Chains A and B, each alone.
Chain A
């Protein structure tokens, strides 16, 4: 919750040039965004279909390896 408080002496509430420069960073923002956007929406262990598919592929490879 926000509450307003009265002050008699007026301080400048405008950010300085240095403050603006310090926080302006599109490269970092873009990097963070990519990291978030590329993260798979559902982890592998929570997706039974994909998990089963990978398990079958793994088993097939194992069988082929054992046969040979």
Chain B
């Protein structure tokens, strides 16, 4: 076996330039794939992070009637036992209670439909929720001396559409818990921007206590927004919680259920990358096949001689396979390193999307994409490269093993 290995290395070494080019093809193909995946992966993580921080949090406990992020039905009648469960589960890092309602907001000049969100600024901070305030100020945390009982902040786009300034009054109208219409007058103290047109156009935020009062919720709340320890699987924690909560009136949903469009887009991209992988790798494989065929054609006489001297066909097959495996392994290793280095470099400095940032704001990726190494995908890619190269080299190896010694030696070089 060591002899074959030595022969294999010598043969690869004999044509340095050819071997290098073949290696480069593998390395470029694999490296580019890993980088592409890293870019996608980074962008997806940023998207999810921004989405969960501005809108959904990692998971929510909601009334069973609530289908997705866009509807606001039902209420959690008795939040206390849930609080107890959440407090004792260590995987739930923090939670915030929210009130949601659909209704209308009117300024002196305009009116429009709106999602009304009541929240507790302190709890929101604990679950790491963030909405960038661009004008005025955010809502002050509650407490005894709470002065923000009649204050709201609105999306910046909504502020423009309502034609109001910070300090102006608005009237909120919504159907309350008992299905009668309720209205209240509030002062706009600030506006926020998330980059998502829909949110910036339709959301009004006020304190949880004020929302409970407006909607006659009393002690009830609409949902718990949860921050889950990232070391645990989101799926596992939510299904655990669902089991412990029991009862048909409540369910635990993740952000994917709440904003299905983004989740679908990510799944679409994850499928697409495999199609891309197939294309790139088949191009790489054909390159390898080409190199091997050439190197065998060149060595027909040599193989004939070796066989005439008593080398068994099986060893010849093995020799060719070893050569291909060496090329494949070295190429894969350098490709993986190339991809990883690219990902880490750009993951550090970021890729500037400023030129496209208005174009991509709705996807909530942010101004820079920071690629991130997707270890499992990169290993899958590397594995597929090695295996497919080995498979494709079976053909030339088999051909070489079937050479007839005499005729081969006679062949003109």
Task: Please say whether chains A and B are actual partners in one complex.
Answer: no
Binding site for B on A (CB under 8 A): none
